[in-house]
Structures are given as structure tokens and as C-alpha cells.
Amino acid sequence: EVQLVESGGGLVQPGGSLRLSCAASGFTFSSYSMNWVRQAPGKGLEWVSYISSSSSTIYYADSVKGRFTISRDNAKNSLYLQMNSLRAEDTAVYYCARDANPYCSGGSCYPTDFDYWGQGTLVTVSS
Amino acid sequence: AIQLTQSPSSLSASVGDRVTITCRASQGISSALAWYQQKPGKAPKLLIYDASSLESGVPSRFSGSGSGTDFTLTISSLQPEDFATYYCQQFNSYLPLTFGGGTKVEIK
């Protein structure tokens, strides 16, 4: 059974840092691209970041570029999101999500649709 | 960024009703569109991918159609467990990947 379990959320002051983790099991983690998606309280879904299976390709939403860093450790079946310079508008539930189908074109790979999601971890940025 | 506009933003329907939700993209995305269902406090669940392909394990009362800029999610006969919020998502090679604003399906 595919499982994705996020951890690391919590309350942090504006300007602070937090590192989220996503532990994967039930599938060959090293074969799949992964993503972080967030959802502010009462709001819709926002894609945050993508990392290819080998970490060779990484993308970020403009809203987090330069502040967040996505990474993975295939030996530990784990995905990470290092979040620095946090702002109130980063308050959200953060989900890790598996890319369902690899899509590569012109030598670059891109995020697609997401077939498995974790339960989410809440990040609250407030003083 | 490609904008996805869902309509309606909410609707009230009865069990057994046929429900249609539309998603319009600000530019053509071929068939690179997915639909998700989200219940309160839960993660989204993939229903439809590639605009019209039913994800494994999803009931056949769900269907998707469209290509280019106009897409539709249809629930042929609404069931009690279908009351939820539905999101479309585009995954063309255009970044950022974006979601529609959501459609909340409520009990009439």
C-alpha cells in the first residue's frame, strides 16, 4: 500500500525556518517525481515545488522561489522541504504528492497529476 | 501562468442528480487536465487524468471530457459520499502548475 506521511509542521514566527519531511513507503520511491502542494486555511490548492526522481530537475512556484528548497534522499525514501524566511501567507497545510505519470519533453521533465497524497502537515506562521 | 476558472463555485444538488462542473483554461492545454475530489480535513483524491481517463478505483459515475481550453467533470447520479469540493488542475509543460478555485457540491 502506498503511503506518504508528512511531518515537521508547527508554529513558527515570521522570518523563521522550518523543515518538512515526507516519508514514503509501499512503492519504489526512487522511480517517481514528487511534489509539495499547500492549502491555506479555507482556501484552494497551490502547487509549491517539484523534484524529479533523480533530483536533476527542480521547480518552484514564484511565491516561494529563493526561500524554499526541495530535496530528497532516495536511500531513505524521504522527501524534504526546507522553508526559510517564512511569512504569514505561508500558513497552510502542506501535502507531499506523488507524480502519477512521468512527462518529459525536450530534455526537461515536468510535474503532472498526483495520484497519491499524504495527510498533510500544518504550518502556522505567526508572532 | 495559466489560469483555470471553475464554475460554478458552489452548487446544491440532491442524491441522484446529474451534476456538471466546468473548468476553463486561459490558454490551450491540450488534454493535460486532472480532476480531484477533496473532503473536509482530507487530502485531495485523483478522479480523472488526461481530461477523460478514469483513475483506477473511481466509480464510473464520474466522467471527464474536453480538450484545449474547455473541460467538464460530470457526476451522472450524485451519491451521498460525493458531497465534497472538486478541483481541476492543469499539468501542461507550462509552469507553474495551477489549480482551479474549486467547486463545492452541497446537499440540497
Counting residues of chain B whose pLDDT is more than 90, the rounded percentage is: 93
Query: What amino acid is encoded at B54 in this protein?
Result: L
CB contact under 8 A, A100 and B46: yes
Query: What amino acid is encoded at A42 in this protein?
Result: G
3-state SS class at A110: strand
Q: In terms of DSSP bridges, do strands B103-107 and B85-90 run parallel, antiparallel, or are they unpaired?
A: antiparallel
CB contact under 8 A, B96 and A62: yes
What does the pLDDT average to over B78-101? 93
Residues of A in Cβ contact (< 8 Å) with B101:
44
What does the pLDDT average to over B9-13? 97
B81 φ, ψ (degrees, to nearest 5): -80, -5
Across the interface, of A44, A59, A115, the residue whose CB is closest to B87 is A44
CB contact under 8 A, B43 and A46: no
Identify the pLDDT of residue A19: 98
pLDDT in tens, A7-36: 999 999 999 999 999 999 999 999 999 999
Across the interface, of A35, A47, A117, the residue whose CB is closest to B43 is A117
Identify the pLDDT of residue B94: 76
What does the pLDDT average to over B18-39? 96
CB contact under 8 A, A59 and B95: yes
Across the interface, of A44, A46, A105, the residue whose CB is closest to B93 is A105
A36 secondary structure, DSSP code: E
Alpha helices in chain A (DSSP H): none
Counting residues of chain A whose pLDDT is more than 90, the rounded percentage is: 91
Q: What is the pLDDT along chain A (127 residues), one digit of tens a residue?
A: 999 999 999 999 999 999 999 999 999 999 999 999 999 999 999 999 999 999 999 999 999 999 999 999 999 999 999 999 999 999 999 999 999 987 888 888 889 999 999 999 999 999 9
Closest CA to A86 of A54, A108, A64: A64
The residue of chain B with its CA nearest to that of A107 is B93
Which residues have CB under 8 Å from A107's CB, separation 6+? none
Residue A68: CA atoms inside 13 Å, Cβ hemisphere, count? 26
Mean pLDDT of chain B: 96
Q: How many CB atoms lie within 10 A of CB B104?
A: 14
CB contact under 8 A, A120 and B43: yes
Strand residue runs (E) in B1-108:
4-7, 10-13, 19-25, 33-38, 45-49, 53-54, 62-67, 70-75, 85-90, 98-99, 103-107
Across the interface, of A44, A62, A118, the residue whose CB is closest to B101 is A44
Residue B90: CA atoms inside 13 Å, Cβ hemisphere, count? 29
CB contact under 8 A, A44 and B100: yes
pLDDT in tens, B33-80: 999 999 999 999 999 999 999 999 999 999 999 999 999 999 999 999
